[in-house]
Amino acid sequence: MSAATGMATTVLWGGFAIGLAFGAIAQRSNFCTMGAMSDIVNMGHWGRARMFLLAMAVAIAGATALQHFGQVNLAHAIYRRSAGLPWLSLLLGGTLFGVGMTLAGGCANKNLLRVGGGSLRSLVVLVFMAISAYMTLKGLFGQWRSAWLDPVSIRLENTPLQDPTLGQALAAATGLGANSAMLAVAAVLVLALLVFVFKDARFRGNALQVASGLALGALVVAGWYLSGHLGYGENPETLEQVYFATNTRTIESLSYVAPTAFSLELLMLWTDKALHPSFGIMSLVGIVVGAWGVARLTGGFRWEGFASTEDLKTQILGAVLMGFGGVTALGCTIGQGLTGVSTLAIGSFIALAGLVLGCVATLKYLLWKAERG
């Protein structure tokens, strides 16, 4: 086996292992970003939200450490590679994803977990989300995105923010060195998140949620190290340094919208020798298998379908919005909320704000609608 083949194989099976662990932990702890926001809006309970924020803190700390010690180059990640800041795509895409995941009863991650638990309804949601995501990457929706949304961008060439991160913004504002500014921003964010997360005694006493938040954040960091260090090497054909077995051909960690589109493409065009499994596809398979294993072991596996035709229509609409919004915003609750944010990219925080806005607004609308009915 050549060194290149070995690195690609490591990335693929490592991606599966990371996804497997993520799926098992998320299934066991009932990890769900939409559910966390629903808990806050409907009950004022922050338990699951604190678990998500703890995972975010760990992801930021770990990714910053990898960057600081030269193990990976996060500037190559899609969240930071743009020559501009396409704020409209990020904000609108995030908002539409937030609306979609609320209508669909969960984000891409939650629907993958439900498929592992026997939900045929979530399988339909994922198929429609994958179709919509593929159309946004390469089809009709993509033409709309590239013609109307992406051009609305803040150009960053020849400015101090050529690397659009919070660290670079601090460096430009204060004169600090880029590395020192990155460490300072990461330290402030991580400390603020940890203080908020652990100030709640009820959360501190929930060992499962604490351990799960720590582990899920660490898995995002593991994804960065796997694709950005173990999977980074010389292409024997071109003699260039490349990232092996990633769909974006650059460093990646966990994200679940675009990989559903690439999975569907691979299944439909299996005999096309130009297509291959990737880190994203294998991590997606892993999360389903991990959720299935936990569901089987805990007796939580059960077949589930749609409650009504109205439910079917609502879920499909939500799936289409998630597919379009997730690709347009460059990620979902995991892809931007944990993975993108861990790079300190300004665009990731914009997308996350849109996601929260869309979800909370839709939750409040559904609550108002239920009260009127």
pLDDT score for 162: 81
What pLDDT does 2 receive?
A: 80
What angle in degrees, to the nearest 10, is found between the helix axes of 87-103 and 33-43?
70
Determine the pLDDT at residue 190.
Answer: 98
pLDDT given for residue 259 in this prediction: 97
288-302 pLDDT, tens digit per residue, is 999 999 999 999 999
- Taking the chain, what is the end-to-end CA distance rounded to the nearest angstrom? 64
Q: How far apart are CA 358 and CA 262, in angstroms?
A: 26
Residue labelled with tokens 């609608």: 369
Q: In this prediction, what percent of the chain has a pLDDT beyond 90?
A: 92
Please give the pLDDT value at position 235.
Answer: 87
- Angle 64-69-74 (CA atoms, 0-180°, nearest 5)? 50
**CB half-sphere exposure, 81, CA atoms < 13 A:** 11
pLDDT at 113 over 80: yes
Average pLDDT over residues 150-154: 94
CA dist 196 and 50 (Å) reads 8
Q: Measured between alpha carbons, how far is residue 39 from residues 27, 46, 94, 133, 254 in Å?
A: 17, 7, 20, 28, 24
The answer, yes or no, to whether residue 1 has pLDDT greater than 70, is no
Whether residue 90 is predicted with pLDDT greater than 70 in this model: the reply is yes
State yes or no: pLDDT of 187 exceeds 90.
Answer: yes
Report pLDDT digits (tens) over 214-242.
999 999 999 999 999 999 999 888 889 99
29-46 burial: b if 16+ Cβ within 10 Å, else e? bbbbbbbbbbbbbeeeeb
Residue 92 and residue 94: Cα distance in Å, rounded? 5
Q: For a pLDDT cut of 70, what percent of the chain falls above it?
A: 99
Residue-wise pLDDT tens digits, 57-86 = 999 999 999 999 999 999 999 999 877 899
CB under 8 Å to 216, separation ≥6 — which residues?
22, 25, 26, 31, 51, 55, 58, 338
Task: Say if residue 9's pLDDT is above 70.
Answer: yes
Question: According to the model, what pLDDT value does residue 182 have?
Answer: 97
Residue 314 has pLDDT above 80, yes or no: yes
- Mean pLDDT value across residues 47-53: 98
* pLDDT tens string 157-185: 888 888 899 999 999 999 999 999 999 99
Tell me how far apart the alpha carbons of residues 333 and 53 are, in angstroms, rounded to a whole number.
12
Whether pLDDT at 326 is above 80: yes
pLDDT at residue 282, rounded to an integer? 98
| DSSP 8-class letter at 106 | S
Spatial separation of the C-alpha atoms in residues 107 and 97, rounded to whole Å: 8
Please tell me the predicted confidence (pLDDT) of residue 84.
Answer: 85
